[in-house]
Structure 1
Amino acid sequence: MAAYYMAYLKSFYPSISNGYLACGGTVISNRYILTAAHCLYNKEKTPYEKTTRVEVYLKVHTVKPMEDNRQPIVVTGSNIKPHRNYLSGGLPNYSFDIALLKLSQDLPSNYEWIKLFKPVYQGDLTAVGWGRTSSSGSTSATMQQVDFQVGTEEECQNSWGYLYSHSYQLCGVTPNQSTCQGDSGGPVVHYNIDYQMYSQVGITSFGHADANNNALCEMGFAVYTRVSAHYQWIHENSCYQADGGLCPNWAQV
C-alpha cells in the first residue's frame, strides 16, 4: 500500500534529553494531521508531560535512517491539540485518544490526504505503521501493514472490560494479526471498492502487555479510537475557514 497520506511523528519532551517518542498520523486536510492523544504525552512523568514540539515527516517509507534527508514540519504550542477529555482528573481516558496537529502552512492543493469514514464499520481493516513486527522485536525501519477482523462489542468487552467502550472504540480479533508498540497514532483503514480508495476508520490506541509493560501483540485485540465517534470534534477543531486550511468532504461511505 502506497500510503502517501501517512505521517511519521517525533514528539519531544523537556525531560527526555536528546530523545523523542515516535508515532504515526494521517494527513486529513491541507493543514491538519490526525493522531492519538497519548502520542503527545510522556506518561513516565506525573502529571503527564505534554510535548513541546512535534516533528512531522511526510511521504516517507523508511524512517531509520530517515530517507532522502527529509526535513520535518515543526508543530509547537497551541497547534498541538489533544482532545480536551483525554486527561480526565489527570488520568487518561482512552475513549478520547485522539488529537490534531495544525501545520504552519498549507500543503500543496494536489497533496493526497485520506478521507474519514463516517458510518460505524464492522468488517476487515488494514493497519499501517512503523511499529514492532513482533512483541520481542524492535520497531520497523520501513512502513508495514497488517490485516485483521474487527470484533463484535461482546468480543472486545470480554477482552478489555471497563477499558473498552464500543461507542468510541473498536478492536481487532485476529490472532497474530495486530498492531504493536510503535504503531500508535497511525490509521486503520478500509478499502472502498466503489470509490477505489482507502478511508480511515480508526486510530491505533493501545494493546495487551504483561505486568512489566512488555508488549503482547500476538494476542490481538488491540484497541483503536473510532473516528466516526469524533467526527464533530474533528470538524470543530480543524475545518473552520478562519482556522486556516480547507474543509474537505471527509465522509466517505
Structure 2
Amino acid sequence: MLRTCVVVLLVVALCGATPLLRPTPGIRQWRPRVDGRIVGGSAVSISQYPWQLYFTMGNYMCGASIISNTWALSAAHCVDGYSTSQMLLRAGTSTRGSGGTTHNIASGYIHGSYSDPDYDIAVVQVSNAFSFNSNVQAVGLTSSEPSAGTSVTVTGWGATSSGGSASNTLLAVNVQIIDRNTCNGSYGYITSRMICAGVSGGGKDSCQGDSGGPLVTGSTQVGIVSFGEGCGLANYPGVYANVANLRSWIQQATGV
C-alpha cells in the first residue's frame, strides 16, 4: 500500500542518513499503485503548486517537492533500491511526463532508520539547479505538527481510484488532519513520524502514483504521501510522513 523510494551508491556522510536504494512493496505505490492519482480531487495549475515535481524511477512514478534550488523532498519507498542514474525529476508543468524542465539526480539520502513504512522520507540533490519562476518555487517546511481538523491539500498525478490509471493533469484534493489515535485505531502502527489526513466517510485521498508528493497547508509542507489502505476508503485515511517530526533530519541532510 506504499505510495514509492531511492538508494544511491554514496558514502554515508551524516548520522541517521543512508544513501539511496530501492522501492519496497507495501507503501502506497507498490501494489497496483504504480500509476495512481488523487481521489475526489480536481485539476489544478502548476502555478498554484509550483513546488510539485513529477518523479520517475525507470517505469515507476512518484511525486516530490522542491525545497531549495538544488534539493527535493520525497518518500524513502520511492527511491529505495534505485540508482540515481534511473531517477529523473520534472519541474514547472501541470502535464504528466511533458513540458517544464528535467533534472537528473546527483546524490541523495533516505533516513537511516527507514523501515517500511516508518521514517518514510528521502531527499535528492539535482545535477542542474531549479530555475525559479511562477511555475517553479520552493515550498516552506513546517516545524510544528498541524492539529487535528486542520485543512490540508495533497497534489499529484496518481490514480483517481485504487488500481486506476494515472492522471495526465495535475490534481489536488482538500482533506483534514485526522487525530493520530483515531488513525491508529484503523491501522494499528501509526508512529510519531506519521500524520494522517482524510475526510469523514472517505472519498478523498491520495492514491497510487502520488507517493512522495507534498501534503500542504497554504505554501507550507506538513506531510509526504506514504501509504494507506486502498484509496479513499471510509475509516482509512491516507498516511503521510510527518515533516515536523523529521524536520531536523531534512536540515542535517540538506542544509535546508
TM-score by length of 2: 0.74
Using the alignment, how far apart are the partners of 2:111 and 2:161 within structure 1? 30
* TM norm structure 1: 0.75
- In structure 2, distance between residues paired with 1:136 and 1:106: 34
User: RMSD over aligned Cα, in angstroms?
Assistant: 1.8
Q: Does 1:8 align with 2:33?
A: no
Task: Note if 1:61 corresponds to 2:61.
Answer: no
How many aligned positions are there?
A: 202
Structure 1: gaps of 5 or more residues? 13-19, 42-48, 192-197, 209-214, 240-246, 248-253
Q: 2: distance between equivalents of 1:71 and 1:145?
A: 21
- 8 Å contact from structure 1 (residues 206, 222) kept in 2: yes
Structure 1: distance between partners of 2:208 and 2:131: 32
Amino acid at match of 1:221: P
Could you tell me how far 1:216 is from its partner in structure 2?
4.0
* Displacement after TM superposition at 1:135 (Å): 1.9
Structure 1 stretches of at least 4 aligned residues deviating more than 2 Å after TM superposition: 49-53, 105-111, 215-220
1:157 aligns with 2:184: yes
How much has 1:86 moved relative to structure 2? 1.0
Deviation at 1:105, TM superposition (A): 3.5
- Structure 2 residues not aligned, in runs of 5+: 1-43
Q: Counterpart of 1:218?
A: 233
Deviations 1:209-243 (A, max 9, x none): xxxxxx3433341100000111111001101xxxx
Return closer, same or farther for 1:109/1:131 CA change in 2, 3 Å cut-off. Answer: closer
Question: What SS does the aligned partner of 2:185 have?
Answer: helix
Find the aligned partners of 1:216 and 1:226 in 2 and give their Cα distance: 19
Q: Is the 8 A contact 1:134 1:218 kept in 2?
A: no
Q: Give the counterpart of 2:146 among 118, 121, 124.
A: 121
User: How many angstroms does 1:133 deviate by?
Assistant: 0.8
Match of 2:14 in 1: none
Percent identity reads 30
Matched, 1:50 2:82: yes
State the AA in 2 paired with 1:67.
S
Which of the pair has more CA radius of gyration? 1
Which structure 2 residues correspond to residues 11-26 of structure 1 after superposition, within 5 A?
11-12=57-58, 20-26=59-65
- Asked if structure 2 preserves the Cα contact closer than 8 Å seen for 1:128 and 1:188, the reply is yes
User: Out of 212, 215, 221, which is 1:188 matched to?
Assistant: 215
For 2:132 and 2:90, locate their aligned partners in 1 and report how far apart those are by CA, in whole Å. 18
Partner of 1:137: 164
1:177 and 2:204 are equivalent in the alignment? yes
For the 8 Å contact 1:171–1:223, the answer to whether it is kept is: yes
Assess if the C-alpha contact under 8 Å between 1:135 and 1:218 holds in 2. Answer: no
Alignment CA distance shift 1:173-1:107 (3 Å): closer
* 1:80 CA displacement: 2.6
